[in-house]
Amino acid sequence: MTPLVRSVRPADTLTRDALAVLQPGFTGTTAPDWLLRRLGEGLVSVGLFGRNVADPAQLAALTGRLRSERGELIVAIDEEGGDVTRLEVRGGSSFPGNHALGAVDDTELTRAVARELGRRLADCGINLNWAPSADVNSNPANPVIGVRSFGADPQLVARHTAAYVEGLQSAGVAACTKHFPGHGDTAVDSHHDLPRIAAGLPTLQERELVPFRAAVAAGTRAVMSAHILLPALDAEHPATLSPAALHGLLRAPEAEGGLGFDGLIVTDGMEMQAISATYGIERGSVLALAAGADALCVGGGLADEDIVLRLRDALVRAVREGQLPEQRLADAAARVRALAGRARRTGTGEGTAPAPGIGLTAARRALRITATGPYRPLAEPVHVAAFTPLANIAVGDETPWGVAAELARLLPGTETTTCTAEAAAATGTAALVDGLLTAAADRRLVAVVRDVHRHPWMADALHTLLAARPDTAVVEMGVPQAPPQGALHIATHGAARVCAQAAAEVLTGRWPSPGE
């Protein structure tokens, strides 16, 4: 027997609403024909990634072409600065990331950095940034947040999240604060699996939610949900699919213990394994909309017309079969269109005064330098030992890191050896370090590490190297959780290009005088 189906709006309206809630990606540095067609059919958002960016002129031409098809359009990007950059994916960011800004703890500096970042985005035609990360990095073993967080203190994270939102939006770019309700207390990367946070509601209120409340108070236009399971909120569904998390906590009035947020709720990437491996991307998308999400981010890994059509059709089918209330889809689409219209009226970052040196200034201020004794600045080519962990998906492996390139610029002839966990496992720590010492010969050594506290192989190799060459300088470009080691230890609080530049200045004694 065929089930009775409620009366729904015309197919064209449903289709346009289903397209409106998608934030898809695509490949290439020019807009494909299929994407331009879908913009005419109701698509309101496009997500950009590093693969879409060659240079600012190309990017501005690309966004201009997109807007020639649809004037009120959201063009989004994942540009956190620091380790996670799409504008400068192949060269490294001109801005330090959140952890460096948190280490300085000057909210005016954070606001200025975000404003300049926003100005550059707006000049390229981008009007929604999937940033900042408001996660409290309370778990030192966290494999995906780390230096993307302002720190482990909820109040520090809150004041810098608010400053970042204000700075970014003052340049005409909407902020999308993430990853609600907080991804900092996880030891699992949601790109690969579903993290579970055991904290109770009182802890969430006192820790994870503090920065998000500050972001809402600062006027963040959007909030991104996290694919994390919090049994204290919902024992069955991850936050992205949880009415209790999105409708009952994020949307609920403050008088009822919620955050009272009325802006756009965007999901994290729906193709991430935490969702797609458990629910499937179509069912997961329906559940996310039903739970209260307004926009579905997809396109980091699945970036073709097929995924757009699959999700469009899944949403339309869910409405027709009574699995997704048609009004819920209509409300979500209306929120997306409202932000698109507001973004168009806001305009570009032309009224924002450029501050081209603010990123390097912030990176210099973020350095923490520890010396065990007198240190002679590097004056001749050196050998860099880069202890390189596997990059997480959010950062990607296209973006260079380390100090070798900056030292080679200052000291031509500098060489580098890359050391990995695989190499250490294959040869053993002693052989790995012996190879380094042979390659370095009589040159001075600089060891570069990233989250050495999270990688036993890295800690062992560094200890062995320092035992053989105690004059080695150490640069930690991740979270400086481990005690300082080496003749000179520099904590950069991130691996952005400007962090490397600042560290190289210290290593070579070219640290600028105050005011430079």
Catalytic residue set: 191, 268
Q: How far is residue 351's CA from residue 118's CA, in Å, rounded to a whole number?
A: 12
Q: How far is residue 22's CA from residue 266's CA, in Å, rounded to a whole number?
A: 10
Q: Are 50 and 59 in contact (CB under 8 A)?
A: no
Tokens for 412, please give them.
């031509």
Nearest one of 334, 364, 179 to 272, comparing CA atoms: 179
- The structure tokens 């720590």 sit at 429
3-class state of residue 271 by DSSP: coil
Q: How far is residue 215's CA from residue 452's CA, in Å, rounded to a whole number?
A: 31
Residue 379 φ/ψ, nearest 5 degrees: -130, -10
Query: Going by C-beta distance under 8 Å and a sequence separation of 6 or more, which residues neighbour residue 265?
Result: 222, 223, 224, 225, 246, 250, 251, 292, 293, 294, 295
**Residue 324, strand partner residues:** none
Nearest one of 498, 459, 485 to 363, comparing CA atoms: 498
Q: Are 132 and 98 in contact (CB under 8 A)?
A: yes
Q: How far is residue 374's CA from residue 272's CA, in Å, rounded to a whole number?
A: 49
- 10 Å CB burial of residue 342 (0-12, 13-18, 19+) is middle
